[in-house]
Amino acid sequence: MTVRLLPAVERIAVPWKNGGGVTREIVAGPPGAAMDDFEWRVSLAEVGADGPFSAFAGVDRILTLVEGAGMDLTVGDERRRVDTRYVPQGFPGDLPTDCRLLAGPVVNLNVMWRRGGGPAPTVTVVQPGLPLAVPVGPAVLIVPVEGTAEVAGRTLGRYDAALLADEDAVLRAQGRTAVIALTRRG
């Protein structure tokens, strides 16, 4: 099994493309990909003020609220209230998206991928409890978003991550943990 550890402490805050917040990239594919040429990208986005999200042509997103009270989004012409933590929400990344915070700053787990390049990633947030078999293929990213988790013999703190490839693994979540099945290696 290939396990790549991605510690939260090593991530650097980078201003959004439109300057309206900051993002901390967890991992992107292919390795070394920039904002303009990634196939897929996973990050934690900190939203500190009302305003528009950056638009990404030809990109879809799955956003999961992990901190804060939530947001009232307008995606294209559709209003969407995002006020329940740990519930993944998908939407097109190239539609104009405006955000109004409900009660202060939020942090979102953000998964983005280019349309037309294969099946979309899936995001599942698992509850703590019994061990869970995590099928790997071609890659799965594990990110504890509340508490800690153990996978492949490694303990991950909140927002640490492990990118797994090649074999199945067992996940023991001590808190809510995002399991992101990616369609390409990275």
Per residue in 82-130, pLDDT (tens digit) is: 999 999 999 999 999 999 999 999 999 999 999 987 678 999 999 998 7
Within this chain, do residues 95 and 168 fall inside the same structural domain, yes or no? no
Q: Which residues on adjacent β-strands are paired with residue 108?
A: 45, 65
Q: Place 137 in a pLDDT band, splitting at 50, 70 and 90.
A: low
The tokens describing 18, both together, are 């439109």
Within this chain, do residues 65 and 30 fall inside the same structural domain, yes or no? yes
Q: Which residue has the higher pLDDT, 75 or 1?
A: 75
User: What pLDDT, on a 0 to 100 scale, did the predictor assign at position 186?
Assistant: 40
- Among candidate residues 47, 102, 23, the one with its CA nearest the CA of residue 70: 102
Q: Is 57 part of a structural domain of the chain?
A: yes
Within this chain, do residues 133 and 161 fall inside the same structural domain, yes or no? yes
Give the C-alpha distances (Å, rounded to integers) separating 78 from 23, 51, 52, 112: 24, 16, 14, 20
Last residue of a domain, one of 79, 114, 149: 114
In one letter, which amino acid is 29? G
In the block, tokens 């998206």 appear at: 97
Q: Which domain holds residue 174?
A: 122-182
Mean pLDDT of 44-53: 93
Size of the chain, expressed as the number of residues it contains: 186
How do 78-82 and 132-134 pair as beta strands?
A: unpaired
User: What pLDDT, on a 0 to 100 scale, did the predictor assign at position 183?
Assistant: 65
Within this chain, do residues 95 and 136 fall inside the same structural domain, yes or no? no
In the block, tokens 């090649």 appear at: 166
